[in-house]
Structure 1
Amino acid sequence: MNTSIFLDYASTTPVDPAVAKAMMGCLTLDGNFANPASRTHGPGWLAEEAVDIARHQVADLVNADAREIIFTSGATESNNLAIKGALTANSDKGRHIVTLATEHKAVLDVFTAMESQGYEVTQLNTQANGRVDIEQLRSAIREDTALVSVMYVNNETGVIQDIAEIGNLCRQREVIFHTDAAQATGKIAIDLQTLPVDLMSFSAHKTYGPKGIGALFIRRRPRVLVDAQMHGGAHERGFRSGTLPTHQIVGMGKAFELAGEHLAKASEAIANHRNTLWQGIQDLPDIQLNSDSEYSVPHIMNISLGTLDSQRFLPALAPLALSSGSACTSATMTPSHVLTAMGINHDYAHSAIRISFGRFTKASDITTAIEKIREVTLAFTQADLQRQ
């Protein structure tokens, strides 16, 4: 049995029990296990219907047309399909692309790959609060700029970018706009009927759904052209081939449906948890909050603890399950690229820890976290002073 106090919801979320139950109904002979592409018999039709329901559930959370939702294996694949697919399908637009240095590696690495294919990349640092300077972005867009990609909610700091303003700028300059919204669903309301976004990536496992499934929003009006990156059967209207995993898709649909139902109440509870935790530790020596509370979701808190090394500090915080940043890069010894792009100095970037809250976080978890963080921080600080 897991006895950890899980405060690493930004890395992944536990599958909601209702989601797990829906998925279990799509696995065995007595359930809805058939191939959704099998259109010659009843079981196949039932599976196809289940996928269609899930597609509408995903679309409903972000107020999109269900026909604009393409299922993928996760946000990483969605980012690849969006960026590579849009660039190859719109090769006449130019070979210059723009992103932020604070993006997830699932975007930055795609830009690096496109750079090796002859694209010119402009990578912008952010302001100290983690948000992009719109005027700097405006200046970075050129006549040959084909695409801009900016994350909606940052996975390390929780900072929310002004997607509406960025999207309007891209529309004015006739540039394709993609946003990675893996950390946004279930945390903030998203309305793709009003947001000027062309492509938006989603992940199920960041929203109490299963791992291995995600989706990409591809706008129909104005139509965005995207070339498939995976071939072999022309599934998902030709955008993404491969047998549809009914159980995972049903799980994602249910998870997104629940996210909509829980959004307001869960966000209020999580904001209370975050505020309580910060109030309990904000007087610790050299502590620093690495985000702007005005422009960030309460679900993710990033703090630095002076010159303490988070790689040495985190193991001492057991049973708290925390991270030093993105789970995809937390094994490295280099400071967070997100924090350095925000202008945070090397020592403070090295001491940063990410605390992220979720629907199942309890008040008692926060009490324990305050006690443990205070205890370990003061012990490490005292030990460092004695060595000096």
Structure 2
Amino acid sequence: MQNQLLKEANEFQEKLSAWRRALHQIPEIGLHLPKTVAFVKKELEQMDIPYTVYEESSCIVALIGSGEKCFMLRSDMDALPVREESGEPFASENGCMHACGHDMHTTTLLGAAKLLKSHERELKGTVKLLFQSAEETFQGAKAAVDAGVLENPRVDAAFAMHVAPNSENKKIIYGEYPMTSVYGFRVLLTGKGTHGSAPELGVDPINAGVHLYLALQELIAREISAMEEAVLTIGRFESGSAFNVIPHRAVLEGSLRTFKSEVRDYIICRIKEVAKGVAATYRCEVELEVLNDVPAVKCDVKLNEEIIQSVRELDSELKAYPTFHVMGSEDFSYFGEKIPTSYFFIGAGVDNQDEWVGHHNPHAKFNETCLPTAAAIYAKAAMDWLENHG
């Protein structure tokens, strides 16, 4: 049996698809998203929903309802510097791509706004809608918190969802510890450049970088228990510009992802020790820089249970499983350090399973038929929470 909110959302499926496709064609990256912000502002104005734009971080906060209690719904809006190869007729052509589905998220929150505005008189408090920038660079949520988006009115709890292009359409997963922390780092190795025919006259930073790469992988293989959960990835290794020159410098960039703070702290300490030791062994100077340091996503168990109950009341046929526990990361965790939060995944796999690929893939496709369900989940979760706590 379907709830009234879901029936209403299904009635404007075409509107949702149109929003999503328009956003998909204007992907922007980082903290400043002028075209995306302009699009969202226009739609909120047409729905007569008041909003505030935080110019420094391209965040938009909209308010629906009034009252002492406040529940926040959040969607990210930024894209990736990926050249799209999905083959969709509405594919982006500007060199960036919504390969993580944030166009779907923005559309979901606009859909929830439409539903909540039509039911505004029924709200037992305030729903705050946060359209956030720079999730992919782990800058947006912290910038939003620092800008005061959790205040005026004070947010009591928050909920967000993420679409999954490689999961069954509309299937929902949730959990207490859904996503890891992420520690991003850069290692700069400085040697002494020389002609490729005379390596003895220089100090080769590539050689040091290769040994460092291997040594860092051994931290996971030989110093962390197989029962723990930790991933250390070097995603960038750059040095040199000519085949016959030993370069002056090499750069390695990587990320560490863990759930437990003690495992994280130990590996970070060892990264620094190993980098200094390898550099000294191969006669290089070394510098380490922190690129980002984002906490793990921890969900409030009681809030999870409340929202899952709302999901089941929305549509008894929706599948929901407490299996969300992955090695990806999300800056929604910054909100979880301040207030109770919940974070779910909802499947958005297209009908042809052979076309399923993971996030950040240039071939990624997303099933737009999940949008009414996602919008209705947002709206019902907010309405129910305010009903129970207002």
Q: TM-score, normalised by structure 2?
A: 0.28
Compare relative contact order (CA 8 Å, sep 6+) and give the higher one, 1 or 2: 2
Greater Rg over alpha carbons, structure: 2
The structure whose residues are more often helix, as a share, is: 1
The structure whose residues are more often strand, as a share, is: 2
Q: TM-score, normalised by structure 1?
A: 0.28
